[in-house]
Structure 1
Amino acid sequence: MDYASIFLARTSSVSFTLPRKRWRIAFTIIITCRTLSRKQRNQYVLINMPTASFLSFKGTHHQSFGHLVKEKRADDLHQLGGPSGLITKLKSDSNNGISSDNEEIRARKEAFGTNTYPKKKPKGFFVHVWDALSDPFLLILIVCAAFSLGFGIKEHGFKNGWYDGVSIFLAVFLVTIVSAVSNYKQSKRFDKLASECDNITVAVVRDGRRQEISIFEVVVGDVVLLNIGDQVPADGVFIEGHSLQVDESSMTGETHPIDISEKDPFLCSGVKVVDGYGSMLVTAVGTDTEWGEMMGTITRDNNEETPLQERLQGLTTNIGKIGVTVAVLVFAVLTIRYFTGSTKDENGVQEFNKHHVSASNILSGLVNIFQQAVTIIVVAIPEGLPLAVTLTLAFSMKRMMKDNALVRNLSACETMGSVTAICTDKTGTLTLNRMTVTEFWVGKEAVSTEGVTESVDARVISLLCQGVGLNTTGSVYQNNSLSVPEISGSPTEKALLHWAVSSLGMDTDSLKRGCKVVHVEAFNSEKKRSGVLLLENRKLLAHWKGAAEMILARCTGYYDNDGSVHDMDVEQKSHFERIIKDMAASSLRCIAFACKNIEEVARTNEEGEAAKIEDDGLILLGLVGLKDPCRSEVKTAIEACKSAGVTVKMVTGDNIFTACAIAKECGIISEGNEMEVVVEGQEFRNYSPEKQLEIADKIRVMARSSPFDKLLLVQCLKKKGHVVAVTGDGTNDAPALKEADVGLSMGIQGTEVAKESSDIIILDDNFSTVVTVMSWGRCVYNNIQKFIQFQLTVNVAALVINFISAVTSGKMPLTTVQLLWVNLIMDTMGALALATDRPTKELMKKKPVGRTEPLITRVMWRNLLSQALFQVAVLLIFQFKGQQMFGVSEKVNNTIIFNTFVFSQVFNEFNSRKLEKKNVFEDIFRNKMFLAIIAVTILLQVLMVEVLKRFAGTQMLNWEQWGICVGVAAITWPLGWLIKFIPVSEKRFHEMLPRWRS
């Protein structure tokens, strides 16, 4: 059924007596729709259908509107009747927006598309398989396996000759599949987290109410509300607003702010609001916008390497070089021994006999030797190191999401573990961000916040209502169905509006009818105040509100509670300053309201607005104290930072008294500590560079700070060698967030500019979550160190055993398949086991590693070298004396060596859980993944020895032999406990091993 039919069905079901004109329009729609495509029909119906008959919403002609903003077609917009005409065409309303009815939203999406753009299809599983197979050494092993299969079948026939070659094929296949599955899962997880980063919220008006919705739910016809720091979510045209400026550098590369007004009303998707506020009508979404087209062509790499992965790649390269060197030596030694007749098969017969040997046998022998050498390289190269980072990052990011932290930049996970200083803002992070008005002064008298109308003159009340209700970016929504008005905006604005409605009796609708806003000076962090110019009864009136001391400095008089105006001399100004100081000492944020009658006609700009609002000679209306309680958990979090060796510095725009009161309440500063400095931003800014560097470490509170002050403090701390984390929520915080080693923006109150500049978004705006993120960062670093210790132990033991055995006996005790199995245990399964440990309390009691701490510490070297030497010593004894000691054949002895080696890694995996602590079983049941992998490893090893004999080249063992293998391997536990008593000098140790400091 087409839309014309639906139209007729819907309209006829309501009324059978439509006026003749309506039937004629309906008939025209039917005829036209017959000649249009489905999407064009959707778009045609709205533009022609009478509103009274519009029961089933369909779209409008979106192509013209899509190009309206992209090509900035001012003439076309004028022909449509300007923004108001466009609003009518799109069946929207500048005050009430569109309907939030699901059917209408769905129909708009059908007609105009959704506010999404196509993304590159993620790598499929088989692509990951191909990537895993791209390892050149695995490819060489596959070629060797093919040769081995061919020679085996030729020499022993198909029935018995295919085992060796197929076994290698299966081993390579197993390694490849396990690696591909792991990478595929982590890739999907990263893609999911990336999409969550893009899912920002925007403020729209629907059904006359301000609502927060996902950017992906924005549709054509929506009225979007824009404030400083917001990202424009779609293409649209300016409806109304004041001092609206946008940064179009993301689209044009030009950093100069662009003024948006009725003369230049076009707003492009993706740009940022840098000043003022306003509303816009959405005209195009998704790929119909230039931003959507551009984003659809961009390929985002969610698996970029982090700094730690890059360091590990260097470590892998160094170890790989050693492995290649050992492999070349082994190949040379085995080749020489082969051609000199020193190499014998398992029956004691020379493999090379110049009198009875064929070219095929020689080639087969060389391929076998080459295969063993390549296998040494495969085992030696710890390709599991980068994989371990990926796994632990993926696991940590998933857990951090549950702990209210969204990671936007992978490297931030590990960097947080090295943080030595945190510069945090106050409001919402250390406090609850639930403002309430608790104190109110008019003139020199305190007035109860509840009974204001009874004790204050009506004219003062009226002026206060104007100052609160019109000089605001918040909104009040009231209708008969609501017992309590809905108030939206920032926490400060909401608190003031709630107080004005409940205590002052403010009626926002009557205010807007009685006064016209001529001009607005939007609040920003530099001015710390905002102003409006009102036209009331043909008289101009300026209203200002903001930081109390900033407003007070511009006042020459004040209102008393009886409505009289008094001059403000020095003594009276000092009295008001004491009131402000007392409120600040009680942890109150003090906001001042002031006004001024404008006698002369204000100068206007090209748009007909006042060019400037006068801000001198003001009359103080009143002082309001807002309480924002500290979060109950903040003090504990601050103490955790101190015990972890991390200094916390509060950087706030509040005055110094409020800042100090909050800092003491949170535990950031304490009484009488000369090492904890409190400064104002301007004071720090005016220091010499040398003085700034000297005092930066000692600063605990910076009050009345500007964005430049915060940035300057971060730069000084970094110059002193600190790893700095910064929290912020405003557009003004963006420079410091970008400059910091880790930027943490606030998810609730944070602007989109702040979020875009940050590495991690704190979803609950809570400082304790910052500490949680730091503990996860330390956990990531610690997990990587555990895995490095575990894997290098295996690397050292395997290389030494195979090299010594090859040189002395011409044979390697571990076959190619066995070595690949060990490689699988220590790379993928070891990474899974050790990279998924959760943070422990001990991690937050250590000093941060900072920038200079080596990746492989002295403790790690002590642990891994002692374990490797033990394994080498035991297995070499088994290699040379095992047959006599156990009274077994060579094949059984080699199986004992292989089994003991694998179980040594299983037991040593427990040792690697704790780098320094002696109790390696502590919290063992917290990591179910670790126990599961250990169980799977043991089960598979039993199958390798007892069932897959032909595949693994093993022989069945009896209970006594199994006891020997497990008992000898279990010695790694008491050995690991004993060696942790050995102290190690870091300086001397790293002078001996300088290359590993990278």
Structure 2
Amino acid sequence: MGKSVYAYQIMNDKEIPNTIVRTSTIPEELGRIEYLLSDKTGTLTKNDMELKKLHMGTMAYNIESMDEITSQLAAAFGKAKASGPSATMTGKGRRDMSSRIRDIVLALALCHNVTPVIDADSDEIAYQASSPDEIAIVRWTEQVGLTLVFRDMNEIHLRTADGEILEYSILQTFPFTSESKRMGIIVKDKTTGEIMFYQKGADVVMSKIVQYNDWLDEECDNMAREGLRTLVIARRRLSEDAYNEFQQRFNEAKVSITDRKAQEQSVVVSFLEQDLELLGVTGVEDKLQDEVKNTLELLRNAGLKIWMLTGDKIETATCIAVSSKLVSRNQNIHQISQVTSTHEALEQLEVLQSKKDTCLVIDGTSLQFYMETFKNEFIEIAVRLPVVVACRCSPTQKADITKLIIDFTGKRVCCIGDGGNDVSMIQAAHVGVGIVGKEGKQASLAADFSITQFSYLTKLLLWHGRNSYKRSAKLSQFVIHRGLIISVIQAVFSALFFFAPIALYQGLLIVGYSTVYTMAPVFSLVLDRDVKEETAFKFPELYKELTKGRSLSLKTFFQWLMISVYQGGAIMIMSILLFEDEFVNIVAISFTALIFNELLMVALEINTWYNSDIKYYISYFMYTNKKNYYLHVKALSYDRIRNRNICHIYCFYGILTDLFW
């Protein structure tokens, strides 16, 4: 019942609207998180994409020079219309700039899985796709003068700036997967009969497929340093015979009984993905979510070790980690990439071990190598680091890392993400948080808690998590105390009267004790607060204390056990000794004492402002500056209570607590 109350309070908190608690069994786990594993796209960023740069080797365009692309594209289509396809060549066979722009814009307008939806009332075109990257690119082609107006399984229609409709037949599509990291399409121009294979994908895989060039890697790295997501665009012209041969082999692979996918991929690689003509690279910006910087800073101060797991390349992820303040100003960044040898792997670990306050950035290839060869050595060093950024991670790797941290440390792990590729990671964690984003609700539905933006995590952990854990701890201890004390009274009563099997409290008394008399007072602890909300956010370091598990441990269990035995024995023995003459009323006397004792215990355990905020100011300064905290607490205390003696008592309490800890 208490956990249901916590869930209700979380879902009805107006500061974190539309938050959904999908489980009522683990809200107190929110108060003990030590590792936070987060996705990047759609979680730390908005998944609101905009194409910012287009690089074509000899020419580059940014957001300010897009007008030039529009005019060059219009000129190219006008020239092609006047002279036919041969007009795309000039001089010694080199294509002019307008033709090159036409080729790359056409490739971007054709190579995707976007479907246009036309509003019947306004005639406006809206786009639907599984990836916001693709929508951003198609929206950009519309802005520069090539609009996607129709698409089905067999055809794509594009409209140029002067209203001409270009019709293409879709001969074959090769969807994007997280393993292949690329997608392709074969189309046939209905006007010219020309067959073209277009492909776009991550630079890691595309750089091996396209023809040799000396600028691709450098420009991709430059864009990544600016925090842009890069896509490499390439094409290949196919003759009718070449396509027919490919089609025959591909159909044979499709009906294969064994390793069908592998055989299909083998045909695509051997017939299509050879020496593709590189058209250019796009740079798409993904904006940071609101309040991400403050949220990450608060969580870091609260003692959480944050890991960012992303499918992006190292440079992009590093840029986002710095701009989002995931990496603090004075922290060093240590990169590990393309580690494939045992000697190099051990060397990198030795270097990393000597560094303390460092952010580790590691790519998927190196991570996989460590997971297979030096799993324990790697995780032993990695879990000590305040920040880890893992790039080019597959969904399986994300889940494997989560399980590895849980198995190695035994600490509470929270995973947060927004897409279907984060579901395995979310389900592997102690606490899964899903963000309802542009990639749908897969993560939200699979998670324990669903929120609408990353910044809500602060209140979920530092406030609701704190309260849920503290209240659950007290409530469980009181349930132990409440049941044990009446059992001890019965045991003492039976022992005093020669172990006669007679019940001291019979009928409605025993029922009333556990319902009417003690239910409401004990259950009221689910509304207790040990610090004010502003204090929890002002001093996020207080969250560190919760992770130590001192509120509910073997020590506190035995304390409450001893209290229950002592109080139960005292109530029974004192009742018999003091009221010997009125033994007939011993049931009423002991029962009244029992109820008043329970009510008094609840009253003493409920936190009031003078024994909560001041106490936690003390705890805070013990964590941050032990030498001077006595003076700080005195100054803080005088603001709240004018009684000098109470201030000194609390300072003395702080010193004793420090020594005891």
TM-score (norm. length: structure 1): 0.47
Aligned to 2:477: 789
Q: Deviations over 1:507-526 (max 9, x none)?
A: 43442852111111111212
Secondary structure in 2 aligned to 1:660? helix
1:76-87 matches, within 5 Å, as none
For residue 654 of structure 1, give the secondary structure of its aligned residue in structure 2: coil
Task: Report the AA paired with residue 60 of structure 2.
Answer: A
Work out whether residues 469 and 508 of structure 1, in 8 Å CA contact, stay in contact via their aligned partners in 2. no
TM superposition shift of 1:438: 2.3
Deviation at 1:871, TM superposition (A): 7.1
CA 1:606 to 1:617, structure 2 compared with 1: closer, same or farther past 3 Å?
closer
Please report how far the alpha carbon of residue 657 of structure 1 lies from its aligned counterpart in structure 2 after TM superposition. Answer: 1.1
Q: Give the Cα–Cα distance (whole angstroms) in 1 for the partners of residues 301 and 562 of structure 2.
A: 32
8 Å Cα contact 1:786/1:914 also seen in 2: no
Distance 1:877 1:486 in 2: 81
Q: Distance in 2 between matches of 1:553 and 1:809?
A: 90
Which 5+ residue runs of structure 1 have no aligned equivalent?
1-386, 557-567, 924-975, 988-998
1:768 is matched with: 455
Change (3 A) 1:915 1:618: farther
Q: CA deviation at 1:426?
A: 0.2
Pick aligned residue for 2:225 from 581, 585, 591: 585
Residue 290 (structure 2) aligns with: 632
Contact 1:913–1:920 under 8 Å retained in 2: no
- For 1:44-90, what per-residue CA distance to the aligned partner results, in whole angstroms no more than 9, with x for missing partners? xxxxxxxxxxxxxxxxxxxxxxxxxxxxxxxxxxxxxxxxxxxxxxx
CA 1:481/1:735 → structure 2, altered by over 3 Å: closer, same or farther?
closer
Q: Report the equivalent of 2:363.
A: 680
For the residues of structure 1 that align with 2:608 and 2:405, how far apart are their CA atoms?
31
Partner of 1:446: 60
Pair 1:676–1:479, CA change in 2 (3 A): closer
Counterparts in 2 of 1:805 and 1:481: CA distance versus 1, 3 Å:
closer
CA shift at 1:531, angstroms?
1.1
More contact order relative to length (CA 8 Å, sep ≥ 6): 2
Q: Do 2:36 and 2:305's aligned partners in 1 also have CA atoms closer than 8 Å?
A: yes
Instruction: Give the superposition deviation at 1:663.
Output: 0.9
Partner of 1:960: none
Q: Residue 184 of structure 2 contacts residue 197 of structure 2 at CA under 8 Å; is this kept in 1?
A: yes
Aligned to 1:42: none
How far apart are residue 685 of structure 1 and its match?
1.2
**8 A contact 2:209–2:276 mirrored in 1:** yes
Shift in Å, 1:745: 3.7
Deviations 1:275-306 (A, max 9, x none): xxxxxxxxxxxxxxxxxxxxxxxxxxxxxxxx
Structure 2: how far apart are the matches of 1:892 and 1:978? 45
1:522 aligned to which of 140, 150, 175: 175
Q: 1:826 Cα deviation (Å)? A: 6.9
Letter in 2 for 1:619: E
Post-superposition Cα deviations, 1:246-292, rounded to whole Å, max 9, x if no partner, equal xxxxxxxxxxxxxxxxxxxxxxxxxxxxxxxxxxxxxxxxxxxxxxx
- Contact map agreement 2:530 2:607 (CA 8 A) in 1: no
Q: How does 1:492-511 map to 2 (within 5 A)?
A: 492-509=133-150, 510-511=157-158
Contact 2:7 2:27 in 1 (8 A): no
Q: In the alignment, what sits opposite 2:578?
A: 881
The answer to whether 1:692 aligns with 2:378 is yes
Aligned residues: 528
State the secondary structure of the residue aligned to 1:692: helix
How many angstroms does 1:533 deviate by?
1.0
- Partner of residue 301 from structure 2, selected from 639, 643, 656: 643
Q: Which digits, 9 at most, give the CA deviation of each residue in 1:582-601, with x for residues without a partner?
A: 22222222223222222452
Q: Which stretch shifts more, 489-498 or 801-810?
A: 801-810
Take 1:848 and 1:618, find their aligned partners in 2: how far apart are those partners? 58
Shift of 1:486: 1.8
Distance 1:772 1:546, change over 3 A: farther
Question: Identity of aligned pairs, percent?
Answer: 20
The aligned counterpart of 1:432 is: 46
Query: Aligned equivalents of 1:420 and 1:770: distance in 2?
Result: 14
Q: Deviations over 1:889-948 (max 9, x none)?
A: 66777655544432332232233345999349999xxxxxxxxxxxxxxxxxxxxxxxxx
Within a 5 Å distance, the mapping from 1:703-722 to structure 2 comes to: 703-721=391-409, 722=411
Q: Is 1:908 matched with 2:601?
A: yes
Question: Residues 798 and 804 from structure 1, CA distance in 2 versus in 1: closer, same or farther, beyond 3 angstroms?
Answer: same
In 2, Cα distance between equivalents of 1:400 and 1:614: 55
**CA apart distance, 1:879:** 4.2
2:173 maps to amino acid: V
Tell me the alpha carbon deviations over residues 776-813 of structure 1, each in whole angstroms, 9 at most, x when there is no partner.
Answer: 44543322211122233333433333433444478987
Residue 780 (structure 1) aligned with residue 445 (structure 2): no
Instruction: Indicate the residue corresponding to 1:726 in structure 2.
Output: 415
Correspondence list, 1:321-340, <5 A: none
1:606 is matched with which residue: 251, 268, 271?
251
Is the strand fraction higher in 1 or 2?
Answer: 2
Aligned partner of 2:237 in structure 1 is: 597
Instruction: State yes or no: 1:846 paired with 2:543.
Output: yes
Cα shift at 1:672: 3.6
| Paired letter, 2:288 | C
Matched with 1:313 is none
Please say if residues 789 and 863 of structure 1, whose CA atoms lie closer than 8 Å, have aligned partners that are also in contact. yes
What is the alpha-carbon distance in structure 1 between the residues aligned to residue 299 and residue 562 of structure 2? 34
Q: Using the alignment, how far apart are the partners of 1:827 and 1:470 within structure 2?
A: 71
In the TM superposition, what is the alpha-carbon distance from 1:978 to its structure 2 partner?
12
Q: Decide which moves more: 704-713 or 871-880.
A: 871-880
1:747 deviation in Å?
A: 3.0
Letter in 2 for 1:539: E
Which whole-Å CA distance do the structure 1 matches of 2:492 and 2:658 have between them? 29
Q: Secondary structure at the match of 2:53?
A: strand
Give the letter for the 2:514 counterpart.
Answer: N
In the alignment, what sits opposite 1:818?
A: 509
CA distance change for structure 1 residues 978 and 694 in 2, over 3 Å: closer, same or farther?
closer
- Residues 695 and 806 of structure 1: CA distance in aligned 2, closer, same or farther (over 3 Å): closer
* Counterparts of 1:550 and 1:598, CA distance in 2: 22
Letter in 2 for 1:653: G
Question: Aligned AA for 1:663?
Answer: A
Partner of 2:351: none
User: In the aligned structure 2, how far is the partner of 1:428 from the partner of 1:580?
Assistant: 22
CA contact (8 A) 1:813 1:898 kept: no
Aligned pairs for 1:912-923 within 5 A: 912-914=605-607, 918-919=611-612
Verify the 8 A CA contact 1:725 1:743 in the aligned structure 2: yes
Correspondence for 2:35 among 411, 421, 445: 421
| Counterpart residue identity of residue 719, structure 1 | D
Q: Is the 8 A contact 1:875 1:901 kept in 2?
A: no
Residue 533 (str. 1) matches residue 191 (str. 2)? no
SS state at 1:606 partner: helix
Alpha-carbon separation, structure 2, partners of 1:708 and 1:588: 25
Aligned equivalents of 1:653 and 1:901: distance in 2? Answer: 61
Q: Is the 8 A contact 2:43 2:418 kept in 1?
A: no
Shift of 1:830: 4.7
Aligned to 1:939: none
CA distance in 2, matches of 1:547, 1:442: 16
Unaligned stretches of 5+ residues in structure 2: 74-96, 151-156, 159-164, 255-263, 333-354, 617-649
1:833 pairs, out of 518, 521, 524, with 524
Alpha-carbon distance change, 517 to 986 in structure 1, aligned in 2, over 3 angstroms: farther
Alignment of 1:799-810 (within 5 A): 799-808=487-496
CA 1:752–1:762 in structure 2 vs 1: closer, same or farther (change >3 Å)? closer
Distance 1:730 1:874, change over 3 A: closer
Q: How far apart, in 1, do the equivalents of 2:171 and 2:609 lie?
A: 69
What is the aligned partner in structure 2 of residue 243 from structure 1?
none
SS at match of 1:793: helix
The 2-side partners of 1:439 and 1:497 are apart by 14
Compared with structure 1, are the counterparts of its residues 520 and 478 closer, same or farther at alpha carbon in structure 2 (3 Å cutoff)?
Answer: same
Other structure's SS at 2:287 match = coil
State which structure, 1 or 2, has the greater radius of gyration over its C-alpha atoms: 1
Q: Which amino acid is the alignment partner of residue 592 of structure 1? A: V
**Deviation, structure 1 residue 448:** 4.1
SS of alignment partner, residue 629 of structure 1: strand
CA distance in 2 between counterparts of 1:497 and 1:553 reads 26
Aligned pair in 2 of structure 1 residues 472, 657: CA closer, same or farther (>3 Å)?
same
**What CA distance in whole angstroms lies between the structure 1 residues aligned with 2:600 and 2:496?**
29
Is residue 364–residue 392 contact of structure 2 (8 Å, CA) maintained in 1?
Answer: yes
